[in-house]
Amino acid sequence: MQIHVQRGAEELGVFTPEETTKYLAEGRLLESDLAWHDGLNDWTPLGGLIRQFGAARVWLAHDELKTKTGGNTMTDKMTPTDDPSEDILKEYGDADGELSDQDKVALIGEAYAKMRTQISKMIIGQDEVVENLLTCIFAGGHCLLVGVPGLAKTLLVTTLSEVLDLDFKRIQFTPDLMPSDITGTDIIQDDPVTRERVYKFMPGPIFANIILADEINRTPPKTQAALLEAMQEKQVSIGSEVYQLERPFFVIATQNPIDQEGTYPLPEAQQDRFLFNIFVDYPEFENEMDIVQTVTSGATETVNAVVSAEEILHFRDLIRRTPVAKHVLQYAVTLVRATRNEKPESPDFVKDWVSFGAGPRAGLALISAAKARAILHGNFHASVEDIIAVAKPVLRHRIAPNFAAQAEGVTSDTIIEKLLETIPRFE
């Protein structure tokens, strides 16, 4: 296979896979250089091409596969005339283009970097918020964004839907919103053929891939509960009929923590349905300067889609299969159990400050989120560091500080920080 490389308008040459790998290592070629070969429709960055094919080792297998399969290669996507040797298939994927899990991790890492780049066109700063939101999405969970007005929570979710190329619906929650306004309802229509009156289901905005539940605490519990079945079962029951929701399906809700008048706080049981509770804080000074300058200048940016719904489902399948060592599982379970004040092994400050702790769903959430974070960062297994990184968004809405803690100004984040300092790391 011959790889054409150019830098800007300058043609750098045509190289073999071995030469390309060598020149990249020597710095004579750059990952930002554009590359093309007969299996591509357009020029692509050389660095992305490397990760797409699982680095140079897949390129080296290309010619070997071509010899074994009578000219049919991974990029040709044709049926082989001869069976390739089992060792080549096992390491590099089959002749139909199936990549190994290691190669897929590289693809996810590249997609993650591209998503961060596209989101940064519209959202300045808030790096931790963006990372947590993407981690939650690829872990297959729902997310609660909590922050004061004007922090671009709604813009962040809208931008995310464009980057993921998913069907997006926004629901503005108000005190008079009814459950049928979300799920849809049956209406009576005249059949033009039989002239009989029949029921026809009119789907509500819940039938989309990403649902933005804006200011979810402004609607009564009856309407909030309309989301429960959709979030947990990925389906909606209307009368005697059950309607399946399209996959992937995510609910991202926003909430204002300072406005209490005319609001209906989410019950703890419903908060537990959210994988993450992400706190959106004020931007840093430099970021706020950039926000004011950019928005008031009238500059516009176009956000491009990076991944599709089908790719997200494939990524999630790989994330679910990510291995987790026993000591990582033990650390996650120990951390969750330590939040319960009635347990003898709980630290004294938990018994003094916590009204009730996290349930078993918190342990499931910790492991699922740690797997997603590990894969997005290019690692092949979840670690204790991944558990620590996702502990706050997973646990902060599952721990209830008591009156004594509130009187001392202790929040759930304070308790989580002390737990992370107290719980020993298992090796």
For 4-36, write each residue's pLDDT tens digit.
888 776 788 888 877 777 777 667 787 777 887
Residue keyed to tokens 């009119």: 202
Domain boundary residue among 98, 133, 163? 98
Q: Is residue 74 part of a domain?
A: yes
For position 41, what pLDDT does the model report? Answer: 60
Q: Is residue 266 part of a domain?
A: yes
pTM of the model: 0.73
Q: Is residue 64 part of a domain?
A: yes
SS3 201: strand
User: Are 279 and 160 in the same domain?
Assistant: yes
User: Are 290 and 327 in the same domain?
Assistant: no
Residue keyed to tokens 């990372």: 131
For position 262, what pLDDT does the model report? Answer: 67
Containing domain of residue 71, as a range?
Answer: 3-98
Q: Per residue of the chain (427 residues), what is the pLDDT tens digit? A: 678 888 776 788 888 877 777 777 667 787 777 887 766 666 777 766 655 544 334 333 434 434 444 443 333 332 333 333 333 334 334 434 567 788 888 888 888 989 999 998 889 888 999 999 999 999 999 999 998 888 888 899 999 989 988 899 999 998 899 988 999 888 888 878 887 888 888 889 999 999 999 999 888 888 888 888 888 888 888 878 888 998 899 999 998 887 666 678 888 888 889 999 999 999 999 999 988 988 888 777 888 888 888 889 989 999 999 999 999 999 999 999 999 988 888 889 999 999 989 999 999 999 999 999 999 998 899 999 999 999 999 999 999 999 999 999 999 999 999 999 999 886 6
Q: Is residue 303 part of a domain?
A: no
Distance CA 81, CA 150 (A): 61
DSSP 216: G
User: Are 342 and 358 in the same domain?
Assistant: yes
For position 210, what pLDDT does the model report? Answer: 93
User: Are 73 and 122 in the same domain?
Assistant: no
User: Are 38 and 116 in the same domain?
Assistant: no
For position 40, what pLDDT does the model report? Answer: 66
Q: Is residue 305 part of a domain?
A: no
What's the CATH number where 379 sits? 1.10.8.80
User: Are 233 and 351 in the same domain?
Assistant: no
Q: Is residue 427 part of a domain?
A: no
Residue keyed to tokens 């049956």: 186
User: Are 190 and 282 in the same domain?
Assistant: yes
- Give the DSSP H or E segment for 279: strand 276-279
Cα dist. 178→11, 174, 210, 215, 249 in Å?
62, 9, 20, 15, 21
Q: Is residue 304 part of a domain?
A: no
User: Are 82 and 42 in the same domain?
Assistant: yes
What's the CATH number where 226 sits? 3.40.50.300
For position 48, what pLDDT does the model report? Answer: 62
> Per the structure, how many domains does the chain have?
3
Where do runs of H (alpha helix) occur along 6-55?
Answer: 17-26, 46-52
User: Are 82 and 144 in the same domain?
Assistant: no
CB count in 10 Å sphere of residue 418: 16
Domain boundary residue among 66, 98, 130? 98
Cα dist. 183→128, 143, 227, 246 in Å?
32, 19, 8, 13
C-alpha dihedral, 259 to 264 to 266 to 270, nearest 10°: -150
CB count in 10 Å sphere of residue 127: 13
- Determine if the peptide bond prior to 248 is cis (ω within 30°): yes
User: Are 74 and 144 in the same domain?
Assistant: no
For 235-269, write each residue's pLDDT tens digit.
888 878 888 998 899 999 998 887 666 678 888 88
Residues 6 or more apart whose CB falls under 8 angstroms from that of 66 comprise 72, 73
For 362-413, write each residue's pLDDT tens digit.
999 999 999 999 999 988 999 999 999 999 999 999 999 999 999 999 999 9
Taking Cα atoms as reference points, which of 179, 156, 180, 157 lies closest to residue 169? 157
How close are the terminal C-alpha atoms of the chain, in Å? Answer: 46
User: Are 141 and 276 in the same domain?
Assistant: yes
For position 30, what pLDDT does the model report? Answer: 79
Q: Is residue 309 part of a domain?
A: no
- Whether 98 and 90 have beta carbons less than 8 Å apart is answered as no
Taking Cα atoms as reference points, which of 269, 286, 296, 294 lies closest to residue 400? 269
Domain boundary residue among 63, 80, 98? 98
User: Are 93 and 119 in the same domain?
Assistant: no
